[in-house]
Chain A
Amino acid sequence: MSTVPRAIEVSDLHKSYAGHEAVRGIDFAVERGEVFGLLGPNGAGKTTTVEILEGYRERTSGTVSVLGMDPGERPRALRERVGIVLQSSGMYRFVTAREAVAHWAAMYPNPRDVDEVIALAGLQEKRDTYVRKLSGGQARRLDFALALIGDPELIFLDEPTTGFDPAARRQAWDTIRSLRDLGKTVLLTTHYLDEAQALADRVAIIKDGRILAIGTPSELGVGSATRVRVSWRDGSGEAQTREVADPTALVHELTGEALARGGAVTDLTVVRPSLEDVYLELTAADDSGPADQPPVRTEAANV
């Protein structure tokens, strides 16, 4: 029993804009030191939810607690302990990267070392370059640096790697992992499923303002040993796919057949479902299902 409040607690959160309900009753909690992923298609309510937690928007109803404080009241003490990387936000153009980080550092009570953060963001070579001359990826890394300079306990990352090339993405992932190693809490929104799978300890899948499922990737059936997809090309060249609990028998059957006719099993793959499969299944099921079905709760005793 700890008296330290959870990093984030959200219960029965609603947000309406002029008749449109963007968020329709969301509950989740993020533990300290956890990397939590909010995953969903565009317009699902991810950004609305995160912006309520960041203090940018007011909620319509429900309770929200961030580091034990109410972000709706915008306490400065909260802003001193939180770092925010917005989906897209402009920056002054006629400051150098280092000046910007140093300027931000002065706003926080216990900032990290400016040059250390510049190095962490991989901007050493651009430290004396004006922001207007930075490339898109470099500007994004400056966003990271500005969010981390205050040594925050909790970091919001709203689609942090959108527009990155693959190498830059891997680098950003390493940075995010290093945040977890430092014991920071991270709330990550993304529509890249591989990103959520690679980084998040737990994931909430959100669509139409509701949480469809919440849990660790393995709890959601990602990489599950009980559902395996086997694909191959049959004797007539048709692509076949079957989902089975145990592929042993099916693969044996396929290879046996092929050997018997003196041929080969072509294009044989045996894969465990990825987060993408789970996600597509859930979001598709939601489209055909009744409008008010309860969310799938695969989470353990974590809420």
Chain B
Amino acid sequence: MSDALALTWRQYRLERRMFWRNPTAAFFNFFLPLLFLGLFGAILSGNQDDLDVIVPGIAGMSVMSTTFSALAMNLTFLREQGVLKRMRGTPLPSGSYLGAIAAHAVTNAAIQVAIVVVAGKLFFGVDWPKDYLELVVYVAAGVACLAALGVAYSHVIPNFDAAPAFVNFVFLPVIFISGVFYDAEDAPAFLRDIARALPLTHIIDGLSGAMVTGRSLGDNAGGLGVIGLWAAAGVFFAIRGFSWDSRNA
């Protein structure tokens, strides 16, 4: 067990090192939410109500891009390249490998949320989080749910050339209807209903409660339930459809 943990840690460190060595990937990963934050901050400057929506919204988007999008893309790439198959032939336990990849995605999510929180305080008039426990709970729930869904979604993507289209087909509509850029309550009813059935709206609601409105964990409990259901489905399909080799997919 301790051996498996040590191997997980080694693999995690390798993933981190490789991530920072690929400057374009690292740059865009961290630059995109900051760019959005900067642009919307400039457009909405002076309108604190809108800024109060956009800051937790971008935090939620960051959680989704670092977990769902990144895992769906990376796993498709690693599977197609045969890296997964190579790892499968080593004594590295599968759990250690997948744990390291997940931990790597979680680290990116945590870093991005931290960046957004700090930028919100420094530039956009959003105070320090009101409820750190709630913030941690929602980041953790969001990461677990969207990471599992990202792994599950990678099984559907036929090849790496198709991966950006497949990922954005989900990512872009979901961030638009889930209230990243505006208050989801202002959307037409049918879009609002769709959004309320999806996890990201509830993740953003929770982050908003923790960072801005002060709505407590208890008030958002229903949202956590929706996130939990998606997480359970995500974990089920992530495990069920997992393939180490593109030829068996």
Contacts and interface: CB of A to CB of B under 8 A. Distances in A.
Contacts of B5: none
A28 interface: no
Contacts of A95: 14, 17-18
Contacts of A107: 7, 90-92
B21 A89 contact: no
Contacts of B244: 56
Contacts of A86: 82, 85-86, 89
Contacts of B21: 94, 130
B10 interface: yes
Interface string A133-167: 00000000000001000100000000000000000
Greatest chain A CB density within 10 A among B17, B21, B89, B93 is at: B89
A106 interface: yes
Contacts of A130: 21
B22 A79 contact: no
Interface string A191-234: 00000000000000000000000000000000000000000000
Interface string B19-39: 001100000000000000000
A9 interface: no
A80 B91 contact: yes
Interface string B184-205: 0000000000000000000000
A104 B89 CA distance: 11
A76 B85 contact: no
Contacts of A150: 90-91
Nearest to A17: B248
B4 to A, nearest CB: 10
Given A106-B10, A107-B7, A108-B91, A89 B18 contact: no
Interface in A35-49: none
A94 B248 CA distance: 27
B216 interface: no
A130 B17 CA distance: 12
Interface string B45-89: 000000000000000000000000000000000101111011011
A54 B10 contact: no
A130 B82 CA distance: 18
Interface residues of A, number: 27
Q: Is the interface of B mostly helix, strand, loop or mixed?
A: helix
Interface string A69-86: 000000010011010101
Given A56-B245, A94-B21, A94-B22, A89 B90 contact: no
B93 A91 contact: no
Contacts of A108: 91
B89 A79 contact: yes
Given A107-B91, A150-B91, A56 B86 contact: no
Given A94-B18, A94-B21, A95-B18, A56 B88 contact: yes
A56 B88 CA distance: 8
Contacts of B89: 54-56, 79, 82, 84, 86
Residue among B7, B81, B82, B90 with most chain A CB within 10 A: B90
Contacts of B82: 86, 88-90
A45 B199 CA distance: 46
Contacts of B92: 107
A91 B93 CA distance: 18
Given A76-B93, A79-B89, A84-B89, A103 B83 contact: no
A84 B91 CA distance: 11
A18 B218 CA distance: 52
B90 A79 contact: yes
B55 to A, nearest CB: 33
B81 A90 contact: yes
A76 B91 contact: yes
B69 to A, nearest CB: 20
A79 to B, nearest CB: 4
Interface string B84-112: 01101111110000000000000000000
Interface of A: 54-57, 76, 79-80, 82, 84, 86, 88-95, 99, 103-104, 106-108, 130, 146, 150
Which 8 pairs across A and B sit closest by C-beta, in order of nearness? A90-B81, A89-B82, A94-B21, A84-B89, A94-B18, A90-B82, A79-B91, A89-B86
7 contacts: A84-B89, A86-B82, A86-B86, A89-B85, A93-B18, A94-B18, A130-B21
Given A90-B83, A93-B22, A95-B17, 14 more contacts: A56-B85, A56-B88, A79-B90, A79-B91, A84-B89, A86-B85, A89-B83, A89-B86, A90-B78, A90-B81, A91-B81, A99-B14, A103-B14, A107-B91
